[in-house]
């Protein structure tokens, strides 16, 4: 079964960190990525650019509306994801708990529908 682990955090906090703190967090992500790769669970994953680079698209009454930025202002923003192959939701949640952002933000675990 595949699970998408959606990583949420406050991008303002990330942007305010000094380079040494960022390097430490990125090293933790590197270790996590190597661990899920070694376990054979990793199917994909990427960091996303900040919400300043986002565009939200809506179609209402046949008209396409685009807005720069995310859909809504929130305390936490989607910052990246991992796509994992796991035997159960519990296994996916156990991996999610090891993602560094789980300590300061949140990681949403969503099963992927297989067609």
Q: What is the CATH number of the domain that holds 15?
A: 3.30.70.1060
Task: Assess contact for 7 and 105: CB atoms under 8 A.
Answer: yes
**H or E segment and range at residue 5:** strand 2-9
Give tens-digit pLDDT for 35-70: 999 999 999 999 999 888 988 889 999 999 998 876
The half-sphere exposure of 12 on its side-chain side, counting CA atoms within 13 A, is 4
Q: Which domain holds residue 84?
A: 2-111
Does the pLDDT of residue 4 top 80, yes or no? yes
Residue 71 is predicted with a pLDDT of 62
CA dist 57 and 100 (Å) reads 30
How many folded domains does the chain comprise? Answer: 1
Decide which of 91 and 70 is more confident: 91
Does the pLDDT of residue 80 top 70, yes or no? yes
Across the chain, mean pLDDT equals 93
């Amino acid at each position: 079964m595949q699970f998408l682990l959606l990583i949420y955090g406050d991008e303002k906090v990330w942007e305010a960190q000094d380079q040494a703190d960022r390097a430490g967090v990125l090293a933790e992500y590197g270790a996590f990525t190597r661990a899920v790769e070694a376990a054979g669970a990793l199917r994909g994953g990427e960091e996303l650019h900040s919400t300043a680079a986002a565009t939200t698209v809506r179609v209402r009454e046949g008209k396409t509306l685009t807005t720069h930025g995310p859909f809504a202002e929130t305390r936490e923003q989607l910052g990246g994801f991992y796509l994992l192959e796991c035997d159960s939701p519990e296994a996916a949640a156990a991996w999610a708990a090891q993602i560094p952002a789980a300590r300061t933000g949140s990681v949403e675990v969503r099963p992927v529908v297989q067609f």
